[in-house]
A and B are shown apart, each in its own frame.
Chain A
Amino acid sequence: MENLNGYLIISAILFSIGTVGVLVRKNAIVIFMCIEMMLNAVNLTFVALSRHLGNLDGQVFVFFIMTVAAAEAAVGLALMIAFYNNKESIDVDDMNLMKW
């Protein structure tokens, strides 16, 4: 399939945007969204390769990842709300209690 490269390139771009977002942003929600973007970039790769190789395993994995992402969203948002209640901020630089 000729256009596999296109899928992979888009997915790589999405993943890079996500990574950079995680690394540079300080707002926890933005970081969180960036992580979701990275996950979905991976999903895209999975689907594309699954189709290309004719193996359904990749698509099964996508379901797994989506489930995990959903669970993660629930837990992560709950954590953030708890954190906001405590610190009135969702800036990750304020999360430093574990620091020495």
Chain B
Amino acid sequence: MLDNVWLIPLFPLIGFLINGFFGKKIKNEAVIGGIGTLAIFASFLVSCGILLQMIGLPPEQRVFEKVLFPWIHSGAFKADMAFLVDPLSCVMIMVVTGVGSLIHLYSIGYMHGEEGFYRFFAYLNLFCMSMLLLVLGNNMLVMFIGWEGVGLCSYLLIGYYFHKKSAGDAAKKAFVMNRVGDFGFLIGLFTLYWWLGSNHNIWTINFTEIKAASNLLPYGGVVTVATLCFFVGATGKSAQIPLFTWLPDAMEGPTPVSALIHAATMVTAGVYMIARMSFVFIKAPETMMIVACVGAATAIFAATIGTAQNDIKRVLAYSTVSQLGFMFLAMGVGAFTAGIFHLMTHAFFKACLFLGSGSVIHAMHYALHKGHLHDDAQDMRNMGGLKKAMPITFLTFFVSTIAIAGIPGFSGFFSKDEILWQAFANPFHGGLNIILWGIGAVAACFTAFYMFRLVFMTFFGECRINAKVKDHLHESPLVITIPLMVLGFLAVVGGYIGMPKLLGMLPNYFEHWLEPVFALANEYGAKYAHSGGHHNPALEWGLMGLSVVIALVGISIAFTMYVKNTELPGKFTATFPALHRAVYNKWYVDELYDYLFVNPCKAFGQFLWKGFDVIVIDGAVNGVAGVVMAFSGVFRYIQSGLIHNYAWSMAFGVVVMLGYYVFK
């Protein structure tokens, strides 16, 4: 089975080719959707087979590499099209193909009747292929193919409704911001490759080879530079400060896309990349600190914005940014397992939330369409009371909300609590730990607040949709609700494979599974970790309790504001208008970027073109020509055109020359 790992990205590729080339002719939605879904489902089956086989192997043998064909070999540089299967990539392929299959299935229902149905499935398959290349690549360059490939698909899918200007803008913004990150990734790659090569003659970009050589890397110094560059790449792909603004805009794409790409898989690529190179990152304490700080800052920053948005998908988008912040926090404090664990649980509940919101939008859209209304189908202010009309959607959505809010017993609790505990107790950041934990805890409170605000505004209370169309609201078809139910189920139970030791009911399977991957990183980390940490079970219990309390506080505030006393939000806005405006407008980050980068770049380009190219360079060129013209303008008067003038001057010349020789 392991030898067939290349089948995993191959199936979606075939799906893409079939739908891309013939989709337009096939026309039948069931066939197109079926091909797309089956392609990724086949990958899922292969992934399951690989997972089972890996489980059967002893932990130290769970690394397998498969070279498909040589790709770029030049000089000392070698990059093969090759795959790496280890426990980490196993987790990732399971998440990608599993969640991916469900979302493909969902899309058949959701995208029904869309003009570019085949195009959508083709892109979705292409995305899955790229994502699988990203997580399976055994060297940085194959990872980079996937890395850029998912960026491309994200571009294509955000721009799916290309006739809308906002969609085109958002797509471009996403790609360009990702490119800024890619720039960092490339420089990081170059630095690491060059340093290992020139100092130790190990010219490689292969993960296992770098891992083997990682003991040669110094602590800090060049590794800090390289890892910081990689981290820039991660911030681009995973929407962290400062490159996060593309993700909320990316909600212009169809909802399944938001669920698959902008919640469950692609945006976690940065986290995955850090985990994949944990043995390098851990050697740069400064980078670790920056990763942790950026993660924490993003978590709180995005969470605050999330509290004031009215578009259901935008709330979820900021929630995603915030949750990714948690994952980076985990990476930064050396809790790689916890980060990946949160990545997985987040994939379940956030995909469920997005798909649920899609289901809501679908229903809203249908109802509004029936009534010939042009209200915004995504605005929560038009929703409310959907609980009755859409029970399954509500239930799954509610379960996932509890999971993300961090209520014990649901998956999000286990993963998030582990991150917060590690932020507090990790041995790396000293006095900073308490701040990191504090920010994380506050962000968790905000999370609970805005998520429950969303649930209350959408599903509870009065139905605020135009009364005319109220009766048209109905539950979505099975093809949509089945994925919801599966994901909702996973959002509940997904956490039990990684229960903290403290609770002790089940062993922490997840940690054991990933142990061989992160063992080396932990070993390196231990070398400079200050001793002890805060391994006090009582403290851990206390913090766990505290985080539950925090979540409950967030929920109760939301309950007070949006269920019990619905005038409160209005009052609040009236009291602090400036604050609300700033939060509502996303702290004006977009405007700031426009002001700082976009506009100066354009102006500078204009100046270089009209000012430098045309005036300076061409001015010089045309100036030279002008000088020549001016001189010849004087000399041309000699050319009188009168034959006698020529004849006389010739005769005169002859006389002069003869005279010279005669009287010399």
Contact, chains A and B (beta carbon distance below 8 A): yes
**Chain A interface residues toward B at CB < 8 A:** 19, 22-23, 26, 92-93, 95-100
Asked if B72 CB lies within 8 Å of chain A CBs, one says no
**B628: CB under 8 A from chain A?**
no
Q: Which of A23, A26, A100 contacts B641 (CB 8 A)?
A: A100
Q: Which of A92, A98, A100 contacts B644 (CB 8 A)?
A: A92
**Residues of B contacting A95 with CB < 8 Å?**
641, 643
- Main secondary structure on B side of the interface with A: helix
Residues of A close to B640: CB separation below 8 A: 99-100
Q: Is B565 an interface residue (CB 8 A)?
A: no
Question: Is there contact, CB below 8 Å, between A98 and B648?
Answer: no
Distance of A26 Cα from B645 Cα, bound (Å): 12
Number of interface residues of B (CB under 8 A): 11
Tell me whether B639 and A100 are in contact (CB under 8 A).
Answer: yes
Whether the pair B644, A93 counts as a contact (CB closer than 8 A) is yes
Chain A residues with Cβ under 8 A from B637's Cβ?
A: 100
What's the least CB distance linking B120 to chain A, in Å? 70
With contacts A23-B644, A93-B642, A93-B644 taken as known, whether A100 is within 8 angstroms of B636 at the C-beta atoms is: yes
Nearest-CB residue, chain B, relative to A91: B643
Within 8 A of A (CB), among B607-643: 636-637, 639-643
Could you list which residues of chain B lie within 8 angstroms of chain A, going by C-beta atoms? 636-637, 639-644, 647-648, 651
Question: Who on chain B is nearest to A20 by CB?
Answer: B651
B644 A96 Cβ-Cβ under 8 A: no
Give min CB distance, A11 to chain B, whole Å. Answer: 16
Where chain A touches its partner, the secondary structure class is loop
Closest Cβ of chain B to A55, distance in Å, is 23
A99 to B640, CA, bound (A): 5
New contact pairs (16) apart from A26-B644, A95-B641, A95-B643, CB-CB < 8 Å: A23-B644, A23-B647, A23-B648, A23-B651, A92-B642, A92-B643, A92-B644, A93-B642, A96-B641, A96-B642, A97-B641, A98-B639, A98-B641, A99-B640, A100-B637, A100-B639
Q: How far is the CA of A58 from the CA of B647 in the complex (A)?
A: 27
* A7 CB to nearest B CB, Å: 20
A28 to B144: give the CA distance in the assembly, Å. 83
Tell me the smallest distance from the CB of B405 to a CB of chain A, in Å.
Answer: 90
* Cα–Cα, bound, A19→B636 (Å): 26
Jot down 22 A-B pairs with beta carbons below 8 A, ordered by A: A19-B651, A22-B647, A23-B644, A23-B647, A23-B648, A23-B651, A26-B644, A92-B643, A92-B644, A93-B643, A93-B644, A95-B641, A95-B643, A96-B641, A98-B639, A99-B639, A99-B640, A99-B642, A100-B636, A100-B637, A100-B639, A100-B640
